[in-house]
Amino acid sequence: MTSRYVGIVAFISLCLGTATGHVNAQEAVTTSAAVILHDPTRLPGDYTRIAGFAEIESDKVIVTDDREKLIHVLVPSTGASRTIGREGGGPLEYRLPRHVYATGHGTYAIADMGNRKLLAVDSADVTVASYSYPEAIWASRFGGADDRGDLYFEPFGGVDRRTQQPAESVTVYRWRPAANELEPVLRLDAPDRAMHVVTRTVDGATETDRFTFPEPFSVADQWVVLGGDRIAVWRESPRILELVGLDGQEIAPPTHVPYAPVKVTDADEAAARRPGLEIDWTFPEYKPIVVDGSALASPDGHLWLRLHGPADASMSQYAVFDKGGRLLGTASAPSSQTLVGLGRAVAYFSDKDQDDLLMVIRYKVTYP
């Protein structure tokens, strides 16, 4: 264990082990309840970029690293770690492993974006089948799998082909791999996008292009498959959480979330700008509540949403809901860490080690 990691664990224990359950001034969601993270431990392995993460069983975790093009199997209780599969273009090989989905009874699926297919893996970590993606899935945001193993995804928004303007909404689809059936489930508000003329310098020469980018801190709906039998949808406007069935129909009254606005500051604007690109961004006065793309669900049906806070905040805040959509409270973690996965009463975060590689830290979670 490195000395820096010892320091990280000590800092985390100091910050999280003494939680009082009261909301501090940096939180956007106003609730006095706390979800406590405690007993942090480092899992085996170092990674360059974590693209997919899933707890398959209580003592088995799958991590994909799409830069190293590796699939890791971790056993937290023993510290064991190994890689599986083989890079290539064959039927059961992969080129760019990313998203991971638990599909029940110790089995799971891995999205191979390089070969444009889904790999089905059995409980012995052997790839047993592969399914070619429909064309619509190629550039998509995935939101999980249901109890039947069907996948749900949202094509990345862009330009409406009819109007040639940024699209105002996107559709969530369900894909049944074995039958190769694709069907729409629900519609979401797309993030605010605008056409920008981008000036950049490449090898000393100035180039100008036109691109459609989401505006910084734009309002957009968030969603994820929850508990295998429903979809949780965060509607940024009017700040409610909806629960819908796998057919897209509402199954519970929406949860209204109390909220204290967080202003966009000069530091936020500086952090949002992209090095090497000159783009005339439009910034709103206030941030949305939820960070785009942050919705994660646990196997036992808890939903976590990362909340926007001040740019200089030392801790990040997460709103936590149960499977019925009830707001349980907020969880706090060091802002240097990113939530990458949830398990049964545990949460997994990534952070950098002394060699600037990513490590995974697992916390135990106590819910109110």
Confidence of residue 271 (pLDDT cuts 50, 70, 90): confident
- Surface-to-core class of residue 277, CB atoms within 10 Å of its CB (0-12 exposed, 13-18 middle, 19+ buried): middle
Instruction: Provide mean pLDDT across the span 53-75.
Output: 95
- Radius of gyration of the chain from its Cα atoms, rounded to whole angstroms: 21
What is the predicted pLDDT for the residue at 210? 63
What is the predicted pLDDT for the residue at 19? 37
What is the predicted pLDDT for the residue at 104? 86
Which contiguous run of DSSP H or E holds residue 3?
helix 3-16
What is the predicted pLDDT for the residue at 161? 53
- Tell me: the pLDDT tens digits for 157-180? 555 556 556 667 788 999 999 899
Instruction: Provide mean pLDDT across the span 310-326.
Output: 94
Distance (Å, whole) CA 227 – CA 246: 11
- Tell me: the pLDDT tens digits for 322-357? 999 999 999 999 999 999 999 999 999 999 988 899
Please count the residues of the chain. Answer: 368
- Tell me: the pLDDT tens digits for 181-210? 999 999 887 766 655 656 666 677 776 766
Q: Phi/psi of residue 153, each to 5°?
A: -150, 160
The answer to whether residue 9 scores a pLDDT higher than 70 is no
* More confident call, 3 vs 358: 358
Concatenating the DSSP letter of every residue in 302-315 gives -EEEEEP--TT-SE
Query: 32-36, 39-43, 87-91: which has the minimum mean pLDDT?
Result: 32-36
Q: Give, in order, the Cα–Cα distances in Å from 115 to each of 38, 48, 130, 143, 230.
A: 40, 21, 10, 20, 29
Does domain 3-366 fall under CATH 2.120.10.30? My reply is yes
Distance (Å, whole) CA 155 – CA 157: 6
Query: 122-136, 226-240, 275-289: which has the minimum mean pLDDT?
Result: 275-289
Beta strands per DSSP E along 67-221: 70-75, 80-84, 97-104, 107-112, 117-121, 127-132, 140-145, 151-155, 169-176, 181-189, 193-202, 205-214
What is the predicted pLDDT for the residue at 53? 96
| 3-state DSSP assignment of residue 301 | coil
Distance (Å, whole) CA 308 – CA 17: 23
Q: How many Cβ atoms sit within 10 Å of the Cβ of residue 48?
A: 12
First to last CA, the chain: 32
Indicate the Cα dihedral angle 71, 317, 331, 237, nearest 10°.
-100
Share the mean pLDDT of the chain: 84
The answer to whether residue 13 scores a pLDDT higher than 50 is no
| 3-state DSSP assignment of residue 7 | helix
The answer to whether residue 24 scores a pLDDT higher than 50 is no
Strands 327-334 and 315-321: antiparallel
What is the predicted pLDDT for the residue at 31? 64
- Tell me: the pLDDT tens digits for 106-164? 999 999 989 989 999 999 999 999 999 887 666 678 899 998 889 999 886 555 556 55
Domain boundaries, the chain: 3-366
What is the predicted pLDDT for the residue at 272? 81
